[in-house]
Chain A
Amino acid sequence: AQSVTQLDSQVPVFEEAPVELRCNYSSSVSVYLFWYVQYPNQGLQLLLKYLSGSTLVKGINGFEAEFNKSQTSFHLRKPSVHISDTAEYFCAVKANTGFQKLVFGTGTRLLVSP
């Protein structure tokens, strides 16, 4: 089975500052990794995903994440945040063979202030 840990429930940051949202996972098999964003009153939207290949993955809205197998991490970063990045961010993992359910972390609320 897989599990995901997002230790930070809330991350406050000022506009134009860099941000890192942490994600660690646990799995006995190889996995795919995802970050989703949830804006108020909207569905989850895929930000980026790691399937294979380069460990640095670039996504939408200037976000990127790096897969670190030895540390079982997939932290999300953005060099300069905007007010509009205020949202809830979910890290998710699934095993990469056959059908395996998507397992989500508890989410991190990013609060960007002026």
Chain B
Amino acid sequence: GAGVSQSPRYKVTKRGQDVALRCDPISGHVSLYWYRQALGQGPEFLTYFNYEAQQDKSGLPNDRFSAERPEGSISTLTIQRTEQRDSAMYRCASSSLEGERNNEQFFGPGTRLTVL
């Protein structure tokens, strides 16, 4: 079946604008993860959900970042009042098991965010 999809694939915005990044996980997957990957670095954990419940948001850098998954499927990562340092690849992953039990995450292609 279809893999994890993310939209938009590329987003260019001006400093101070809000952006919303969307993740559509594999159908039926119960856990969903957000990562941020700066150039030349590996992905860094931001937050994750089991179904619609946000279980861990310890990786969100500050209160301008938020995420939701209201119906336990599609998730949105929102960045308010964007800053140039927010420029990065934002990756989403999903898994068929809850976060406490899964050992394989399936990644989407990512959204490349550029803040001018």
Which residues of A are in contact with B by a Cβ distance under 8 Å? 4, 9, 32, 36, 41-46, 49, 51, 90, 92, 98-99, 101-107
* Residue count of chain B within 8 Å CB distance of chain A: 26
B93 CB to nearest A CB, Å: 8
B residues within 8 A CB of A32?
A: 103
Alpha-carbon separation in the docked complex, A107 to B42 (Å): 6
B91 contacts chain A at the CB level, 8 A cutoff? yes
Are A104 and B44 in contact (CB-based, < 8 A)? yes
Question: Which of A36, A49, A98, A105 contacts B100, CB < 8 Å?
Answer: A98
Return the chain A residue nearest B100 by Cβ.
Answer: A99
Return the chain A residue nearest B3 by Cβ.
Answer: A43
Stretch of B13-21, B66-74, B75-83, B105-113 that contacts chain A? B105-113
Alpha-carbon separation in the docked complex, A24 to B82 (Å): 35
Which residues of B are in contact with A by a Cβ distance under 8 Å? 3-4, 33, 40-45, 48, 55-56, 58-59, 91, 93, 99-100, 103-110
Are A46 and B104 in contact (CB-based, < 8 A)? yes
A residues within 8 A CB of B44?
A: 104
Are B91 and A51 in contact (CB-based, < 8 A)? no
B residues within 8 A CB of A9?
A: 40
B98 CB to nearest A CB, Å: 8
A selection of 10 A-B contacts at a CB cut-off of 8 Å is A43-B108, A43-B109, A44-B93, A45-B107, A46-B104, A51-B103, A101-B56, A102-B33, A104-B42, A104-B44
Are A92 and B42 in contact (CB-based, < 8 A)? yes
Are B43 and A104 in contact (CB-based, < 8 A)? yes
A residues within 8 A CB of B93?
A: 44
Are A106 and B56 in contact (CB-based, < 8 A)? no
Are A44 and B43 in contact (CB-based, < 8 A)? yes
B residues within 8 A CB of A101?
A: 45, 48, 56, 58-59
| Known contacts A42-B109, A98-B100; is-contact A90 B91 (Cβ 8 Å) | no
B107 CB to nearest A CB, Å: 4
Are A106 and B41 in contact (CB-based, < 8 A)? yes
A residues within 8 A CB of B91?
A: 43-44
